[in-house]
A and B are shown apart, each in its own frame.
Chain A
Amino acid sequence: MNTRRDNAGKKDLGEVIVITSGKGGVGKTTTTASLGAALALRGQRVLVVDADIGLRNLDMMLGLENRIVFNVVDVAKKICKPAQAIIKSKKSNNLYLLPASQTDDKDVVDEAEIRYVLEQFRREFHYVLVDSPAGIEQGFRNACAGAESAIVVTTPEVSAIRDADRVVGLLSSKGIEAKLIINRIDFEMVRRGDMLSVRDVQDILGIEIIGVVERDDQIISAANCGEPVVYNQKSKAGQAFTRIAARVCGEQIPVPSFDTGSLWSRIGRKLGVNA
């Protein structure tokens, strides 16, 4: 996550980023798909890897489920060549998917095998985003193997935050720096005092926030039609992921805290900026 990748390409190895959360259902897979698509829109060559072996989803988010022939386990076990397993996205020439196997479980591969798989692709891509399964067991350890940095996704709920906290601790014990995406925040509820604010979450987790994504119904419809939300620039979530992609590439875009609630959005609207 730094500037050296923005001059698209002639650098040696792509950056491997694991996207994880601890708790399930907070939006890891959506984030992986959206961020991957947003980075690809910026001209980066991106591979998204589904490490959720046995419960694969990322293919559906990208609308690629019916094109899968080989998967990450096949690459790990050297059943196919690495290039045979990756699938190009329908929307972008820069975005590829390495799907999970749906019929195996998480123990069929180990960390060394995942590291081997990632090494096969790092030369070809600027970013390799690994979508981690929920939990902190073997699947999580596999997903973290070979990652240089991590994006931890959480929602502003105490249970999600506690799990994120655990994961941040585990990542830092592996020497992986974690940044945070707060997903599905509802600023109206924050203003009413019914939801934790960005600052509350920041206070507890104490790590850098790389993005805040508002709750957005279009995420659901986008997932259902297999098109990441970033292709719809009217969507607030889509805009948020576009900004996150820019930050991943090293651009300095401040993360709005919205803690001043209505004030922020009012000023934002007046100035015609998207907060």
Chain B
Amino acid sequence: MTGSFNDDDNLGFEADTIPPHGERLQGLGISTSPSKIEEQEGETRSSVITARGTADGLVLRIDGRVQEQDLTVAVRDFLESRRSFLQGNDVAFEWVGRKPSDELVHELTTLLASEFKVSVRSSKLKGAAGKPAATESGISAFSGQTLNSQRQSSQTRVAAPAPERNVSLFDGMDSIESRTSVAANSMLWDEPDTRIVYGTLRSGQKVETEHSIVVFGDVNSGAEVIAGGDIVILGTLRGIAHAGAYDESGGGRVIFSLNLQPTQLRIGLVISRGSGSDNFESTPRGGIPEIARVEGNLIVVEPYQSRTVWARRRE
């Protein structure tokens, strides 16, 4: 489910809860000398925004996970170097990873209009429905879509032509996002390209992705899951799980498992050993769901309670 900020809802995000979306680290154990950090931030800034042409015009893809003030600077830099090319045109914002606040969108729109004479056509989250952003263009994003394509990842299937018999089903309806209630919007977190593993990972098998991982199965001893994002294991974790793998701090990422008996847990650069790796008796069957996160410089494991995760993320 993706969120749109076309609605007049007030989004509950606080930009500074999440560290800048760093470039992929060179590996664990790199030194964090100040120069290295600066260098990374420099790199980050340049990849925060990318421009691409589409049938509907120019689209600026912006990484929404970057702090707001950095983002404003990055946008200004970006446009400055392309001033002559962009002047008098219009662009659409496409946000990656996270929805920006309304204030930010407004601020950027004003900035573009006043300093660069660029108007903002629309602003939406990547993966949000429809090529023509629904509310701006006045076209229902759903006219001509099947129920099925709506249920699938809205990222890829949206533009797919539909069999005629379903045409009327969503006619006159707004986009999917607008059907998300205002209250729910504050809890939305868009994870692009989450990798889902259907089945048990056995010894010697390894799944790695920059994004998050969901495993419908166990992760056995000798298997590894490595994710830039969160790891959710709907089964027993006996092997190694590494969340927030490309962010030294772990980026507030968590590892969840219905039964947590890992060989090792890693979040960012923090590593902890499993407790019962050499004694099978201490790995009881039917354990309780637990969640691991970083606190200070330690990995903390606690029983999963449905309220804790989101509360932590908002901290």
Contact = CB atoms under 8 A, between A and B. Distances in A.
A165 B281 contact: no
Given A165-B203, A203-B285, A196 B280 contact: yes
Contacts of B218: 204, 206
B197 to A, nearest CB: 13
Nearest to A204: B220
Most buried by B among A163, A204, A206: A204
B220 A165 contact: yes
Given A165-B203, A204-B218, 8 more contacts: A158-B280, A162-B221, A163-B203, A165-B221, A165-B222, A166-B222, A193-B281, A203-B236
Interface in B218-254: 218, 220-222, 236, 238
B221 A158 contact: yes
A107 interface: no
18 contacts: A158-B221, A158-B280, A161-B221, A162-B221, A162-B222, A165-B220, A166-B203, A169-B204, A169-B205, A170-B204, A193-B281, A196-B280, A199-B285, A200-B285, A203-B285, A204-B218, A204-B221, A206-B200
Interface of A: 158, 161-163, 165-166, 168-170, 193, 196, 199-200, 203-204, 206
A166 B202 contact: yes
Contacts of A193: 281
A212 B218 CA distance: 24
Contacts of B203: 162-163, 165-166, 169
A210 B5 CA distance: 57
A200 B220 contact: no
A166 B224 CA distance: 12
B205 to A, nearest CB: 6
Interface of B: 200, 202-205, 218, 220-222, 236, 238, 280-281, 285
A193 B205 CA distance: 30
Most buried by A among B203, B205, B281: B203
A123 B153 CA distance: 51
A22 to B, nearest CB: 8
Contacts of A161: 221
A32 to B, nearest CB: 23
A178 to B, nearest CB: 11
Nearest to A171: B202
Contacts of A169: 202-205
B30 to A, nearest CB: 31
A170 B200 CA distance: 13
Nearest to A196: B280
A42 to B, nearest CB: 33
Contacts of A168: 202
Contacts of A165: 202-203, 220-222
A59 to B, nearest CB: 31
Contacts of A199: 285
Contacts of A163: 203
Contacts of B222: 162, 165-166
B118 to A, nearest CB: 52
A169 B238 CA distance: 16
Nearest to A159: B221
B225 to A, nearest CB: 14
Nearest to A194: B281
Nearest to B277: A158
A103 B254 CA distance: 54
B251 to A, nearest CB: 30
B46 to A, nearest CB: 41
A133 B97 CA distance: 49
A21 to B, nearest CB: 13
A169 B219 CA distance: 12
Contacts of A203: 236, 285
B280 A200 contact: yes
